[in-house]
Each structure stands twice: as structure tokens, then as C-alpha cells.
Amino acid sequence: VGTYVHIAANGGYRTPAHRLTRRASRHCWGSAANIYRVGDDWLDARETIEKYAAIARNVLPAVWIRPYGHEDGMADDHLHLDLGYVAVRPTQVKSPAAGDIDDAAA
């Protein structure tokens, strides 16, 4: 988008208007993000949220984007991008499944 993208530090908090989330989300696993501002554009209106949602879908075709709205499961003050669940193996951990060590020696 050619400018700064502002991502909420804690997906459960979002904005002062919402205070706290009511249920856990994939934010807990670091695979979702709430974008509340892009450059000088605040994502607090349907037109702005849908504009950047279209860009995100073009760049990340597999991303799930929360629909705009005021009901549970919708977003009206940010762009919610969800990549799904992510499996991570730290580089310092040896794993037979990754071929790092011999199963017989483990």
C-alpha cells in the first residue's frame, strides 16, 4: 500500500470503543491481526475497511477477512485478517520429523 500499516498490539483489545473481547481468537496464536489504520486512513468506516480488505484478498488469497458489521463476528472499527492456525518449530529444537536427528539415536 506504500505507507505504514498500523496493527493493534493486542487483538483481544482492539480499540477503546470495544474495551475487551468476549472470546479467545487466533490472535492468541499470532496468526491473526487487527489493522486499525493505513497511512492517514483510519479503518472506522465500511468504505475504508472494504477498500483495504480487497487489497488484502488480492495479496493474500487464502486469508479470511472478518466481514464489516456491528454484530458478533463482524468488525466495524478495524480490518481483521486471519491466516488460520500456524505450526512453528523453533530453530534450536531438534526434531526427527524434520530430519534433524536420527530416530534410532533419539
Task: Supply the pLDDT for residue 25.
Answer: 59
Nearest to 83 by CA among 56, 101, 45: 56
Average pLDDT of every residue of the chain: 79
- 55-94 confidence digits (pLDDT tens): 999 999 999 999 999 998 899 999 999 888 777 777 777 7
Q: pTM of the predicted model, to two decimals?
A: 0.68
Task: Supply the pLDDT for residue 90.
Answer: 77
C-alpha to C-alpha distances, 24 to 28, 35, 62, 101, nearest whole angstrom: 7, 18, 22, 36
pLDDT bracket for residue 2 (50, 70, 90): very high
Identity at 41, one-letter amino acid code: D
**Residue the block writes with cell 475504508:** 48
**Residue the block writes with cell 482492539:** 14
Task: Supply the pLDDT for residue 62.
Answer: 92
First to last CA, the chain: 48
Q: Give the whole-angstrom CA distance, residue 32 versus residue 25.
A: 8
